[in-house]
Structure 1
Amino acid sequence: MTQWQTRRDDGRAGECAGGRGAASLSGGPSAATDAVLPRLILDHARDGIALLDIRGRVLWMNPALERMLGWPLDLMRGRNPAEFINLPENRPGPAELAKFRYLPGSSLFQQFRVTRHMRRDGTRFWNQQSHALIDTGRQDAQKMVVVTCRDITDQVRVQTALERMKDDLEHAAYHDDLTGLGNRKKLSQYLGSAPVRASIGTGRVGVLQLDLDKFKQINDTLGHAAGDAVLRHIARALGATAQQGDLVCRTGGDEFLLICCDVGSKAALMSRAKAILRASRAPLAWKDQTITPGISIGASLCRGTPPTPETCGGEALIAQADQALYAAKEEGRGRAFFYTPELGARYRAERQLARDLATAIEQGQFIVHLQPILHLRSGRVTGCEALLRWQHPTRGLLAPPEFLGAAAQAQLLPQIDYLAMNASLDALVSLRDQGFDDLCLSLNVSSAILADADYPALLNWAMQSRGLPPGCISIEILETSFMNRGAPDGCDAIARLRRLGARVALDDFGTGHAGLAHLSTVELDAIKLDRSMVGRLETDGRTRVIARAIIRLCRMLGMEVVAEGVETQAQIDILGRARCPLVQGYGVARPMPLAELPQWLLENKAFSLPVTLPPRDEPSPAAPPAGRARRRGDNSI
């Protein structure tokens, strides 16, 4: 408690007493004199207050400031506070202190100042100060400065945490969490920045769009943690090749983008792409294995003089690089492909084709043509292959090679497959209603529909609803699609189809993708010799030897062989001597609409083939008699 003797207004003696946070004036407020009340307020203020002379030396400071600094007034009086409370690295020397003066017009007197200071015990704190110049009306030497101090360390700590949190949130909003690269939002911000717009204006911007090859396979076989490690590996490779001003983004699951802001030629851009390809192929150690990632790259560059948004805008360049990336994958992956206007035209045509395909599905523009399959020894047609055709409203009749690529890219293959399945089964019902009840039908199945676990059940339901026995159907699976699915999955799909009673044939056999390996690991009912092998029979003796060996092996395994793409009598002769049971191709008949097939079948009940077949030196499947119920092993597809 601090006490002062005072005098009341009426002249009687009084007493002023005060303590921290409280003060009292005996005799009432009117007893306080002008000299005592200000001192009482200063001594009990919560903020630290100091009175300095014009040279910055301490004249007086209140108890709150003594507590804040840890220094008593007796030690600081006549000294500049900077000698005591400035951080060691910021303390002024004697010469600087001797020259110091407060300047009356300084901005110091117009605003708060926050400074990091140090207490007597060495702890540091944030000090918010305000300065007020007191003009006593005397000479400048008698002018004084009042400094008010407040310890705002807690507020600064909270503010710092909030700012850090804000920075973290902003970083998370603009960056990919896994790789630390920019995301799509960062990409948009970058493309709108002044430096990038300037580079676009000068035509010196290139884009590299990257996509990992077979990334799903890594996730499926090694796990998602391995996939994440590969993504970080590619991100590091990209970051190592990026130059100042470039932007590296992860724009999708396994998709990356590099914007090159100072590249003026195709050669320079493709050189960057090749460097990324080399860096990405560096082996990555993962647990006890080594992963060698692969990537494909699409490249695009500003073109045209002057550059326009259509040829050099950020979004246009990204779209062009994406088209080039698609071309790189089509060319075999693991390479970089540069965008050209011709590539763009092809891409736009494919996009239009995909839109037309969607319309075709809705409007039922797909039909099936049927190509007869001939049993050589009997000369009878025992089956047909259903071949899909698209009756395009402006381009006419289109064969599958003209639209299946676009359908796969647009992920429309499953829908088209099911349309083809239903149209083919309807055609078979129509043929049987017309008396051709011994004909069997071959259906082509894509890898997309083979991957559908519901396909066997849907096929079975479709046949039962039409009154068709399962044995009248053969499902043709491409060697390539079989390999893409992997042996376990492919074997499972085949087993489920065969359990329903359907037959399964391996199509395009002999194209070099799988070959004889599948004959020992997969239970198949038939193979179809690819037309490329059949086409070489007349001119290549090695091909004839291989074809005879395949036919003999399949006969020993109880499997049928259909030679497809047969076009000449010479090919039929060679296949007949090799004891190939079944042939198909233009040499027998072209694919034809359902409406034409019955008449053709009536006119060609039995082929008269000028070919001498070898004697049966071992059992060989024979054609079933017309109308007889078909059993497994009969020569029909």
Structure 2
Amino acid sequence: MSVPLGEGASVPLSIRAEEGLTPTRLRLEQEHAYFNDIYLLAPVGYFVLGLDTTILQMNLVGADLLGVPRQNPDRVQFRNFISPRFVADFDRFVQAAVNSSEPQRCDLQLLRAHEQHGFPATLRASADLGGQALRVVLELAEGKLAALERSEERFRRIVHTAEEGIWEIDDQARTSFVNPKMAAMLGYTIEEMLEQPLVNFMDEEGRLILERNIARRRDGVAERHEFKFLRKDGSELWATLATNPIFDPQGQYLGALALVTDITARRETSELIWHQANFDALTALPNRHMFQDRLRQEMKKASREGLFLALLFIDLDGFKQVNDTLGHAQGDALLVEAARRIGTCVRASDTLARLGGDEFTIILSGLDHVSSVERIAQNILANLNQPFQLGEQQGRVSASVGIALYPSDAAEPDDLLRHADQAMYAAKHGGRNRYSYFTPDLQVAAQARLRLGQDLRLAQAQGQFALHYQPIVNLRTGAIERAEALLRWQHPQRGLLGPAEFLAQAESNGLILDIGDWVFRQAAAQARQWQARFGAGFQISVNLSPGQLRGDAALYQGWQDYVRALALPPRSIVLEIGEGVLLDSASQVVARLRALREMGLQVALDDFGTGYSSLAHLKHFDIDYLKLDHSFVRELAADTGDLALCEAVIAMAHKLGLRVVAEGVETLVQRDLLAQAQCDFAQGYVYAEALPAPQFTALAERGLPPAAPA
């Protein structure tokens, strides 16, 4: 049976309440416990209510009868539409429906939203199987013929003005009806769509999905699917179809009716979100999340096929220097070009991903020879070792590549990635611009680093750190005027450890900030005590790493407050930095250094002569002391070029207003030659090794023995 809609089209009424809700289909509906979208088209009001009668869902007719939006954004209750004198009847009706397995009926009067006059209606309700909701059918209480005419008139109006597409196909999947909205969604007129096969509006992907679903329609299955249609102009329309099969009284399949919702914009948004969650925004490579998923899948595939898989972990050597020197925009450009170069070295079936920063990974799957892995690694190294043209400048990096093999090196994805990472660090420590395979020895070293990191965390909490102080002597007077604070760790099993044995680990796991803060405060407190004994000019030097200079600015503000609370002049503390800090005047590290200098702290350039800086760099910075590396001092003799070099550096430093400290002075000859070259200070074993504070105090009080000629 169909309702005439005019212009030669009709819409079926085979889904009326009394016809469509067969016992079998009602039971299926209850078992799934969800609102079937096809009831949106029923010519009676259909509602799903919460137990407090909040309208959870309603169909088109129901929304029209109550005069509210179908989505019910205000979460209104159905009870609000009951005429006051029928409220008690309605409450009893609801209670009976909730507590009974049989459908309940109630005749009452309803009110439309914002209207005073009511209309008579009949409600039928039953609870769902879970007892958490009510399903209510609303019919107007009038004569059957009048009710039919009114419902069909309302249905016809709703179908033609609906904001959702309505599409009916016959048993041959040809279009027998569409409403104006459906035709407009595809860019056709209604006449152009009638009698056309559904497949004419689909691409190959959609046709395959359709073939599978038509078979299920014939079995009487009501479903909801996403389809991709093609508009008249060739553009894509993504839509959800809530479909219901149509049968005649004898059970013969007649076709299907679908409610069609345009989800193109939502799908595009979902695809964008998915892409952002799985791909790196800069290089468009798979990110860590997708990489981990592909690694799991490829390892399973390798296991099934009896082949091996190689995982390459790539870290760019020297990238940070390029990024800091040329700026982040050029650093990003280098990463994009690096990704492209690496991509040319692998097959289309391999996975190249960016984990973050300057770290990349490659999954080489389906391999039967290790030699192919080495060839790819060598090509990557060669490609990345070529100059990068970055605007008007060039940047250079190399790569350290770690290789781990499945199944020989690990059976689980996380272990394989960790082992490739360890192999990469082995390549980096081996000189960079090379590749290294994972070995059990690397795992042992990694476990040792892990234990060291755990021990470091306990060390500070348990007071295992201490400062030793090496005297810095005025070469003119022979007096101890300064000291360098050197960190020591009294390890409970390994004994007294020097900084070389643990500071790199502290730097890598972020503990350096807390440790450095402790060192500064200890040294400042000690400086205050020694100034009271040895005079207000006594200074203590503390070493400061680039990692500390990148830390939170609040930490350094705390230093200023601490020094002020001690009534200690800020110049009493000298911060010793390495030469690398001076290479980029625009870096955050240098800006932080200048801020510390403005606080009144003094700065010494440590190990001068071992890095890339020159005296020309010094004039751009507020440096107070230049510390000659012990390599300058080691071979000093009266007739060597080393002495001439020392004399030249000292003279130029004095011209720039810097005082010079010689490190690693071990002999009287070295001491005397440095004094003759007008070096200001010296430190080394010729005077004393680094001492705990009590021994240092005793040495400074009694003074050094008079300088004897060499």
| TM-score relative to the length of structure 1 | 0.67
- Residues 233, 280 of structure 1: 8 Å contact kept: no
Q: By how many angstroms is 1:328 displaced? A: 3.7
2:545 to 418, 434, 446: 446
Q: Please give the alpha-carbon distance, in whole angstroms, between the structure 2 residues aligned to 1:195 and 1:358.
A: 36
Secondary structure at the aligned position of 1:251 is classed as strand
Structure 1 gap segments, 5+ residues each: 1-17, 24-28, 30-45, 52-61, 73-80, 91-106, 118-124, 133-145, 612-637
Q: Please give the alpha-carbon distance, in whole angstroms, between the structure 2 residues aligned to 1:372 and 1:584.
A: 6
Alignment of 1:177-256 (within 5 A): 177-193=281-297, 196-199=300-303, 202=306, 204-213=308-317, 215=319, 226-243=330-347, 245-256=349-360
Q: Which has the higher contact order (CA 8 A, sep 6+)?
A: 1
Q: Please give the alpha-carbon distance, in whole angstroms, between the structure 2 residues aligned to 1:591 and 1:63.
A: 94
Q: By how many angstroms is 1:239 displaced? A: 3.3
Q: By how many angstroms is 1:131 displaced? A: 13
Report the counterpart of residue 513 of structure 2 in structure 1: 414
Q: Please give the alpha-carbon distance, in whole angstroms, between the structure 2 residues aligned to 1:508 and 1:108.
A: 79
1:299 paired with 2:299, answer no
Amino acid at match of 1:294: V
Amino acid at match of 2:372: A
Amino acid at match of 2:361: L
Secondary structure at the aligned position of 2:632 is classed as helix
1:463 paired with 2:563, answer yes
What are the Cα deviations for residues 532-580 of structure 1, in whole angstroms up to 9, with x where unaligned?
A: 1111214982211101111222333432211110111221232223232
Q: Please give the alpha-carbon distance, in whole angstroms, between the structure 1 residues aligned to 2:200 and 2:557.
A: 83
- Residues 273, 297 of structure 1: 8 Å contact kept: no
What are the Cα deviations for residues 215-245 of structure 1, in whole angstroms up to 9, with x where unaligned?
A: 5666666666555544443333343333254
Q: Please give the alpha-carbon distance, in whole angstroms, between the structure 2 residues aligned to 1:439 and 1:197.
A: 69
2:466 to 362, 367, 376: 367
What are the Cα deviations for residues 46-96 of structure 1, in whole angstroms up to 9, with x where unaligned?
A: 978799xxxxxxxxxx999xx979999xxxxxxxx99xx999xx9xxxxxx
- Residues 282, 292 of structure 1: 8 Å contact kept: no
Q: Please give the alpha-carbon distance, in whole angstroms, between the structure 1 residues aligned to 2:598 and 2:171.
A: 97
Report the counterpart of residue 449 of structure 2 in structure 1: 350
**Structure 1 pair 245–421 and aligned structure 2 pair: CA distance change class (3 A):** same
Amino acid at match of 2:530: L
**Overall identity of the aligned pairs, in %:** 32
Secondary structure at the aligned position of 1:311 is classed as coil
Q: Please give the alpha-carbon distance, in whole angstroms, between the structure 1 residues aligned to 2:579 and 2:217.
A: 86
- Residues 482, 539 of structure 2: 8 Å contact kept: yes
1:289 paired with 2:389, answer no
Report the counterpart of residue 649 of structure 2 in structure 1: 550
Amino acid at match of 2:560: N
Q: By how many angstroms is 1:454 displaced? A: 4.7
**Structure 1 pair 607–294 and aligned structure 2 pair: CA distance change class (3 A):** same
Q: By how many angstroms is 1:516 displaced? A: 1.8
Q: By how many angstroms is 1:249 displaced? A: 2.2
Aligned length: 514
Amino acid at match of 1:480: G
Secondary structure at the aligned position of 1:262 is classed as strand
Q: By how many angstroms is 1:276 displaced? A: 2.2
2:365 to 261, 279, 286: 261
- Residues 168, 177 of structure 2: 8 Å contact kept: no
Q: Please give the alpha-carbon distance, in whole angstroms, between the structure 1 residues aligned to 2:589 and 2:8.
A: 91
| TM-score relative to the length of structure 2 | 0.60
Q: Please give the alpha-carbon distance, in whole angstroms, between the structure 1 residues aligned to 2:597 and 2:269.
A: 61
**Structure 1 pair 49–404 and aligned structure 2 pair: CA distance change class (3 A):** closer
1:481 paired with 2:584, answer no
Q: Please give the alpha-carbon distance, in whole angstroms, between the structure 2 residues aligned to 1:176 and 1:488.
A: 26
Q: By how many angstroms is 1:478 displaced? A: 1.8
Q: By how many angstroms is 1:585 displaced? A: 0.1
Q: Please give the alpha-carbon distance, in whole angstroms, between the structure 2 residues aligned to 1:387 and 1:480.
A: 20
1:402 paired with 2:518, answer no
**Structure 1 pair 556–267 and aligned structure 2 pair: CA distance change class (3 A):** same
Q: By how many angstroms is 1:331 displaced? A: 4.8
What are the Cα deviations for residues 304-355 of structure 1, in whole angstroms up to 9, with x where unaligned?
A: xxx46x6343322210111222334445554433322222222221221122
- Residues 297, 335 of structure 1: 8 Å contact kept: yes
- Residues 597, 622 of structure 2: 8 Å contact kept: no
**Range moving further from structure 2, 441-450 or 379-388:** 441-450
Q: Please give the alpha-carbon distance, in whole angstroms, between the structure 1 residues aligned to 2:217 and 2:664.
A: 97
Q: By how many angstroms is 1:400 displaced? A: 1.0
- Residues 270, 299 of structure 1: 8 Å contact kept: no
1:524 paired with 2:627, answer no
Q: Please give the alpha-carbon distance, in whole angstroms, between the structure 2 residues aligned to 1:455 and 1:109.
A: 69
Report the counterpart of residue 570 of structure 1 in structure 2: 669
1:278 paired with 2:378, answer no
Q: Please give the alpha-carbon distance, in whole angstroms, between the structure 1 residues aligned to 2:216 and 2:677.
A: 106
- Residues 512, 547 of structure 2: 8 Å contact kept: yes
1:515 paired with 2:614, answer yes
Amino acid at match of 1:185: H
